[in-house]
Amino acid sequence: MSMKVTGSGIVYPSGEIQLTPGYTGFRNLLINGDMPFDQRHCGAAYTVPTTDYTLDRWMVGSSVASKLSVQRVNDVPNGFDSALRVSVAAKYAPAAAEAFTLQQRIEGVNVTGLAFGTSGAMHVTTSHWIRSSVPGKYAVGLTNGAANRSIVGTMDVTTNWTRLAITFPGDTAGVWWGGNLTGLSLRFDLGSGANFTAPTPGVWQDGNYASAPGCIQFVNQAIGASLDITGAQLEPGIIATPFERTPIDLSERRCQRYYAKTFPQGTAPGRGLGVLGALGICTDSTPSYRLVEWTLPATMRSTPSLGTYSPFDNSINFCNSLANATSTPGGISVTDRHVLLAINNGQTMSTPAPDAFYIHVTADAEL
């Protein structure tokens, strides 16, 4: 059996019909939906202090610090290599004004075609493989960039991997940002208070709603409770088509629009991890300043924030081969494509010169 294009749309061999002709490629609006990229933590469990990014593009929003932990795991359904696991690090009952969510914020330019905020707003469908050690009703929803328009749906999650899908109507009202701002957010509720619980699930409404009545408050479960997700997809139309596979190099490049590092891909950023991949410069003059430069692997969404790490020393931000320089580098020039940093080598030099200076850098342009 082959795929056919009919008046109804694209008919897949499985019998599924995609009602959005033209969306045969790059239909998944999410990045890293199959969770292979975890540049920040490289598979290590990360207890989220407050709102912060975990696996690439996936952010945990926490009103209270250190209640949830996230880890990339390889305990997955057939056809996948990685999944995102959220675990309860500390059981907590959220107050009315507190929310805990797992979300991906999608850049406005990538969702402009959905025409949200107009009479032509398109339906979208989210699908994902999911399971939980605490089975029951969970909420998933969408919000705009300003988080003042939202819709919430519910799904019954079991302890077994199951592919679930929810279709949302397009929002014909509200303000929807374009460009490089947050255009649309997909949110999984992990336990939110009454202020974030939608009075009417399934319809767009003013307000910032992440949960629905009767849903499990995941963060209020026993320590170690887990919720696993992979194969996450959000696509135009009313049909959940099979998870869209993209080449790994393309997926990596798409992630690097939002986060990049000089460390090897398998090394989580930190101090004292060695020079592999580090920016460096060799100099024989002292005292002086020297510039190190980094051409970013992808044009980033915005001018990135820079984290700096000494490859040798666990307490300073750059150093020479003797690990005895202690200055923090100065930002000289940062753009969405290129970074120049000034390193002061005037304080300490190997004897005799020349000496090499190294620094690791991360660039963060997440939404």
Q: Applying CB under 8 A, which residues contact other proteins?
A: 180-181, 285, 287-291, 301-308, 317, 328-332, 334, 342, 346, 364-367
Residue 12 CB, shortest distance to other proteins, in Å, is 38
Q: Which is nearer to other proteins, 198 or 334 (CB)?
A: 334
Minimum distance, C-beta of residue 334 to other proteins, in the bound complex (Å): 5
Minimum CB separation from other proteins for residue 366, in Å?
A: 6
Q: Give the number of residues written for the chain.
A: 367
The smaller minimum CB distance to other proteins, of residues 109 and 323, is found at: 109
Closer to other proteins by Cβ: residue 135 or 330: 330
What distance in Å separates the CA atoms of residue 251 and residue 269, rounded to the nearest whole number? Answer: 20
Q: Which is nearer to other proteins, 50 or 350 (CB)?
A: 50
Nearer Cβ to other proteins (62/197):
62
State how far the Cα of 184 lies from the Cα of 167, in Å rounded to an integer: 15
Structural tokens at position 356:
């090499």
Within 13 A of 103's CA, how many CA atoms are on the CB side?
A: 29
Kindly calculate the radius of gyration of the chain based on its CA atoms and give it in whole angstroms: 23
DSSP 58-93: -EEEESSTTSEEEEEE----TT-S-EEEEEESS---
**Closest CB 301 distance from other proteins, rounded Å:** 7
- Measured between alpha carbons, how far is 363 from 294 in angstroms, rounded to an integer? 10
86, 226 Cβ separation under 8 angstroms: yes
Encoded tokens for 166: 């929810």
Nearest approach, Cβ of residue 264 and other proteins (Å):
21
- What burial class does residue 264 get, using C-beta atoms within 10 Å of its C-beta: 0-12 exposed, 13-18 middle, 19+ buried? exposed
Cβ atoms < 10 Å from Cβ of 165:
16
DSSP state, residue 266: T
Cβ at position 15, least distance to other proteins in Å:
43
Q: Which lies closer to other proteins via its Cβ, residue 59 or residue 70?
A: 59
Comparison of 214 and 331: residue with beta carbon closer to other proteins? 331
Task: Provide the CA 205 distance to its chain's centre, in angstroms.
Answer: 25
d(CA 74, CA 81): 6
Q: Which helix (H) or strand (E) holds 143?
A: strand 136-143
Give whichever of 134 and 291 is closer to other proteins, judged by the CB atom.
291
CA–CA dist 210, 93 (Å, integer):
16
